[in-house]
Structures are given as structure tokens and as C-alpha cells.
Amino acid sequence: MEKYLEIISNGLYSYRKGKLFIEDVDVEKLVSRFGTPLYVYSCSLIQNQIKKIRDSFKNVSPLICYSMKANSNLKILKLVHKSGCGVDIVSGGELARALKAGFKGNSIVFAGVGKTANEIVEAIKANIYFFTVESIEELKTIDKIAGNLKSKVNCCLRINLDVDVDTHHYTKTAKKETKFGLSPQQVSSVIRHQRDFKHLKLAGIQFHLGSNIKISSPYIEALKRLKTFLDDTGFKPQIIDIGGGFGIPYRIENIEPIEVFGERISDFFVKNFPSVSMVIEPGRFIVGNAGVLLTRIIYKKKTEAKKFLIVDAGMNDLIRPALYNSYHEIIPAVVYKGMNETYDIVGPICETGDFLGKERSLSANLDAGDVLAVMSAGAYGFSMSSNYNGRPRPAEIMVSGKKVIVCRKRETISDLWKHEM
């Protein structure tokens, strides 16, 4: 386990005398102060991840637009903003959060297949960098609204290049049967008719291949296809946005190191698109491994078939295992000596799909009251959480060295009905 912690955190997660630390804070102390379930983020790890991206793409110095759907807590957004990134948004709510966190309009890019008229108005008023446009209908709507607002807005056309990637079926977004983007034929038709869109500037092209992609080759394949397409159409984009999707290790696994990943993509980009600005939209890579979900064992249950650790975090707090069968390492806050046993680690929710990990080998001495850490939970953890089964959402904490900052208070029981009459 130490090896995994080292791989994902370069020493920011560690066991000291058998106790799990996040940066310089003892996890058990955090849970006795804030309770469980509890999301904890490492500030330094987020900063390190941003630096790694910046270094590995240094040949092109792209604008890094953090994809805030991964985790949109304001403290995290402020940290990412302070680190010099822009932001990738997909709704009016995310726009408002981005502005509240201090992002300037010109560092905001707006994607999504179903932007409403209101969302488009707000984004134009905020002077965003560009819209990523996903259909002709949307393009016409943006043009009309921009006209009404007497403005000219930047658009990047999201091209669907039919590139397959090795990830969960639900998070592949560049196959032609998905709802995303415009086909090359549609993009080429828009380019030919760009004069019809008087209030738009076709600033560039965007693609997003999918999520948790662990190698650079699909990006290079996409860029190759894009190059051929641009040569054929004669379109000269100012911006090429290659989306996000950069993978992270959820266990000890073979994944292309970011240094190699970034350099390969950058080298190809510089050679083939010399004077074009690059935008990237990583979400998971920045926050995924920087977050941990702490949970307490409520019961240790044995049936004829299995041993279960029933914990106080469930699929409402972290839905990834239930939804995508995703693997998250689960490790103890305090290491016990002795034998291990095989457990399913499950939540309290009334669904068989409510599990955090299956067939995990953990100490036979673990029992009710002990704390476990579900690792790599910083991306699509809290942001996909819900109140299902009448469960208030967890608190979120950020650790920086010895410092502990509350990012979000635990919801209370009365929060559960505060919007009901």
C-alpha cells in the first residue's frame, strides 16, 4: 500500500508509526473533529498536479481550463485559479461558481450539448473566452442571442472524430453514436457558411475524447485526423482545444507518466499546428488523487457467503463504484498487525449496488468504530453526491501542511427539507 501512496502522492499521503497522514495531519484526528463520512483534499497535491501538467506541456504552454465538474468546491476553485488556470464549465450554475471563485470571463470555456438561452445570455454577459458548440441548432441560438446583445462571441466547434478510447462505456465521448459534437461534415458545412453567423467568430476547434484515458495515442490519433480535416477544408483555427480526460492511477497500474503523455501530445501539436493556441480541460488529473473519503465502520457482518464491513459512506457520497464499477483503493486509518481477511466494503443504502469495494483484503482485526480511507475520491466524488436515502452530504476539508481548512460544512438533517413547503 505504501507503494501506491507514493505513486499517487509523492509522499503527501503516508503512514507514520502505523497511522495514516494526509500531508502533516493525522486522519484519525480529522475524523474525531469533523466526523464521518468526510472528504479531505490535499492542497499541495492539487498544486503539484497542476505543475506536472504545466511542465509536461511546456512546449506549447496551453491554457489549462480546469474542468470543474470534477470538483467545484469554491476553495478548490480558488486554489486552481490562484495557480493560474482557467476553467471549463457546463452550466449556468458552474458559470456562477467560477465567477464567484474569481475566474475572469476570458479564462472560462463553456461546453455541453444542452445550453439553454438563459445560460448563453449569462455567459455572453460574463464575456467568456469561448463556447464549445455541439450542434448547428445551438450555433444558431448563440448567434441570435449574441445579435440581441449586440456582441460578437467566440465559438469553437466540437468535432466528433469517432475516436475510440479505452475507458468505461459511459465516459467515451468521441464515438460517432454519442450525443457529443458535430460530425466532420457538419463542421465543414459550418465553416463554409460562417458568414451566415454574423455575431459569431469561429475561433477554433475542440474535441473531448472521454475520461480517464491513460495513454496519449488516442489524442495523437485525434490530432492526426484533425490535421487531415483542416488540410482538406482549408480552415485555419486560432485555437485547438483537446479537451480533458487525462487518466490517473486508481491502483498500482500501468499508465503513461504525465511527463511522457504531455510531451508526446505537445511535440505532435507544435509540429503540426505551429501557430495555434492550445487549450486543455483536465478535471480528474488535477483533483482525483488529491481527495480521500474517510468513513467509519458501523458493523462487521458475517453471512454464510461473505464478510462485510458496513461503513457510514454510501453510494450517495461516492457513486463511482456503483455507477461504473470503478475501483478505489480502501486502506485503514490505523494499521493493525496480524492476519488479513477478505471483505466487501458496503454502505448503508438499500441497494445491492451500494458498495465501495469488493473482495478486499484488510486486517482481520478491523471492527466497528475503525476508520477507512477510500482513496482517489477527489474527482467526481462530492460533485456527484446526493441526499439519497435521506442522507445529508459529508463535510469537505482541505489540508495544507499542518493546516486544516473547512471547505464545506456537513449538511444537517433540516437541510434535507429546506426547499420543501
For 300-326, letters b (16+ CB in 10 Å) and e give: beeeeeeebbbbbbbbbbbbbbbebeb
Least separation in angstroms between residue 320's CB and ligand LLP is 5
**Active site residue: 85, 155, 156, 350, which one?**
350
- Show Cβ contacts of residue 298 under 8 Å, excluding neighbours closer than 6 positions: 310, 311, 312, 348, 368
C-alpha triplet 87, 9, 68: angle, nearest 5°: 15
Least separation in angstroms between residue 236's CB and ligand LLP is 23
For ligand LLP (CB under 6 A), the number of binding residues is 22
Q: Is 155 a catalytic residue?
A: no
Residue 380 makes contact with ligand LLP by CB under 6 A: yes
Residues 84-143 that bind ligand LLP (CB under 6 A): 88, 111
- Judged by beta carbon, residue 296 or residue 328, the one nearer ligand LLP is 328
Residue 62 makes contact with ligand LLP by CB under 6 A: no
Least separation in angstroms between residue 243's CB and ligand LLP is 5
- Taking CB under 6 A as the criterion, the residue among 283, 321, 332, 394 binding ligand LLP is 283
Least separation in angstroms between residue 65's CB and ligand LLP is 8
Write the CA distances from 9 to 166, 292, 418, integer angstroms: 24, 12, 39
For residue 372, the 8-state DSSP code is E
Least separation in angstroms between residue 111's CB and ligand LLP is 4
261: three-class secondary structure by DSSP: helix
Residue 246 makes contact with ligand LLP by CB under 6 A: yes
- Judged by beta carbon, residue 109 or residue 395, the one nearer ligand LLP is 109
How would you class 147 by CB atoms within 10 Å of its CB: exposed for 0-12, middle for 13-18, buried for 19 or more? middle
User: Measuring CA to CA, which residue among 250, 184, 256, 169 is closest to residue 217?
Assistant: 256
Give the separation between CA 14 and CA 75, rounded to whole angstroms.
Answer: 24
Residue 209 makes contact with ligand LLP by CB under 6 A: no
Q: Which amino acid is residue 225, in one-letter code?
A: R
- Judged by beta carbon, residue 115 or residue 320, the one nearer ligand LLP is 320
- Judged by beta carbon, residue 251 or residue 302, the one nearer ligand LLP is 251
Least separation in angstroms between residue 98's CB and ligand LLP is 14
For residue 57, the 8-state DSSP code is T
CA 238 to chain CA centroid, nearest Å: 26
Residue 282 makes contact with ligand LLP by CB under 6 A: yes
- Taking CB under 6 A as the criterion, the residue among 284, 296, 328, 393 binding ligand LLP is 284
- Judged by beta carbon, residue 20 or residue 72, the one nearer ligand LLP is 72
- Judged by beta carbon, residue 99 or residue 384, the one nearer ligand LLP is 384
User: Measuring CA to CA, which residue among 243, 115, 70 is closest to residue 172?
Assistant: 243
Give the separation between CA 342 and CA 330, rounded to whole angstroms.
Answer: 12
Per-residue binding string, ligand LLP, 169-198, x by CB under 6 A, is --x---------------------------
Give the separation between CA 327 and CA 251, rounded to whole angstroms.
Answer: 8
Just list the catalytic residues. 350
- Residues of the shown chain interacting with ligand LLP in the complex, contacts defined by CB under 6 A: 67, 69-70, 88, 111, 171, 208, 211-212, 243-246, 281-285, 320, 324, 379-380
